[in-house]
Amino acid sequence: MGAPGLAFETGEPAEPNRTQPFGVCQLSQQNQSVGQDWIARWQRVARRIRVPLGFLTAALYLYELSRRAPQPAAVAWSIALVLPGLWLRAYAAGYVKKNRELTATGPYAHTRNPLYLGSMLIAAGFAVALLSWPVALALAIGFAVIYIPVIASEERFLRATFPGFEAYCHSVPRLIPRLTPAPQSSTPGAAGSFSFSLYRKHREYNAAIGASLLYLSLLFLRPAVGALVHRLQ
């Protein structure tokens, strides 16, 4: 999950806008119902294609891995994206209290969706590790198709549940983080500090385990995948 204080995640949509396409959360009254219908339709489609899209991306990743040996320099550069992504997700998981309060401190004082931003950094890192434009394109399409309707749906829920969410939206960007934390006076409900028990409850360590397995695949899986693809050809 990415939006503050919410219980569901893609499991890893576009709200009507004012003048900027992806950074403002104010909806005009007359367009709200149309936007909500559009969000609902897109989210239904996203739920249906989420798993098949994941399998297709994984298959493409393995195919690209069989075609080219990972370059040490590329793998090193990928770590510069993957580690911050893992840190951001872990940091956010220790703050968010799902469905119980509007979380506006920690990373949520910089971006409204630190978990999703962390996932994007991790995915970008592994695309860099392979130096694969097809994988990068597949990941970009997948994130756009899945995350945009999810974010919009979550924000609709938060707006209806927490009166301070509108003020929070005006102070904190949806995705690209602000450099300095938003003042707590402009984010009603801002409270709390990092909790390791929340981190464990959300099982965010699974992201680190998954990233470690992917790096191991770069080192040891390629010969096996290459041999399999060669036999199939």
pLDDT tens digits for 96-138? 877 778 888 999 999 999 999 999 999 999 999 989 999 999 9
Written as six digits, the tokens of 43 are 């989210």
Residue 228 CA from chain centroid, whole number: 32
Give pLDDT, residue 219: 79
| pLDDT tens, position by position, 81-93 | 999 999 999 999 9
Under 8 Å between Cβ of 68 and 132: yes
Residue 107 contacts residue 88 (beta carbons within 8 Å):
yes
Which two structure tokens, joined as six digits, stand for 158?
A: 């938060």
Please count the residues of the chain.
233
Q: Burial level of 58, CB count in 10 A (0-12/13-18/19+)?
A: exposed
Distances (CA, A) of 102 to 11, 13, 18: 21, 19, 23
Is 70 exceeded by the pLDDT of residue 28? no
Residue 159 has pLDDT above 60, yes or no: yes
Q: Report how far residue 44's alpha carbon sits from residue 170's, in angstroms, rounded to the nearest whole number.
A: 28
CB atoms within 10 A of CB 150: 27
Minimum mean pLDDT range among 15-19, 108-112, 155-159: 15-19
pLDDT at 27 over 50: no
What does the pLDDT look like over 180-204, one tens digit per residue? 998 875 555 555 688 898 899 989 9
Q: Which two tokens stand for residue 108?
A: 């949520």
Torsion sign over Cα 206, 208, 198, 39? negative
The Cα–Cα gap between 194 and 95 comes to 5
